[in-house]
Copies of this chain bind each other. A is one copy, B any other.
Amino acid sequence: MLENPIREGEVALSFDPAETADDARLVFIGRAFTPWRPERDCPRNMRQVRERLAEAPELAFQLQIDAPFRPGLKDIAPGKAIFVLMWMSSARRDLIIQAPKHRETPAGLFSLRSPVRPNPIGLSLVRVKDIDHGAGRIAVDALDCFDGTPIIDLKPYIETVDRLAEEA
């Protein structure tokens, strides 16, 4: 994937985490199904997805969880909010300073939500619309990843835990 062009001001690591990373290993627990294809105009984040939904409320988003992991869906119910962690597998991993089109100056990657990062994990907070526990199928209100993206974790959003303390 290193043939992707580097834009002016961008800086790459001296190694490619996609080739060298082996500190820990992930198992994919399922896949996301979304209307977004790489070759089409894909929303950049959840805010843009929700803007599209205002125009096209028929857009549908699903998580399909693999059979061994489905018992773990117990207690997930419509209306609940969950964090979805995805593996943005088509992204390169070595750009440490990036120059996104929407920014005037290059930025440190840890200040960006770009899928290009040492560990290309995506994070989206969604609401469960419907769930079929036996089939491992969860309909959610929105997702900002490509169709077929691997899912690596689901976590309940807990208001008392996931809200920032007030600034001192």
Please list the residues of chain A having a beta carbon within 8 angstroms of any beta carbon in chain B.
Answer: 11, 13-15, 17, 20-29, 45-47, 50, 68-69, 71-76, 79, 81-83, 85, 87, 89, 96-97, 106-113, 117-119, 121, 123, 125-127, 141-142, 150, 152-158, 160-165, 167-168
Contacts and interface: CB of A to CB of B under 8 A. Distances in A.
B110 A96 contact: no
Chain A binding surface, main DSSP class? mixed
A141 B168 CA distance: 10
Q: Number of copies of this chain in the oligomer? A: 2
Contacts of A126: 164
Contact of A74 (B26, B69, B107, B152): B107
A80 to B, nearest CB: 8
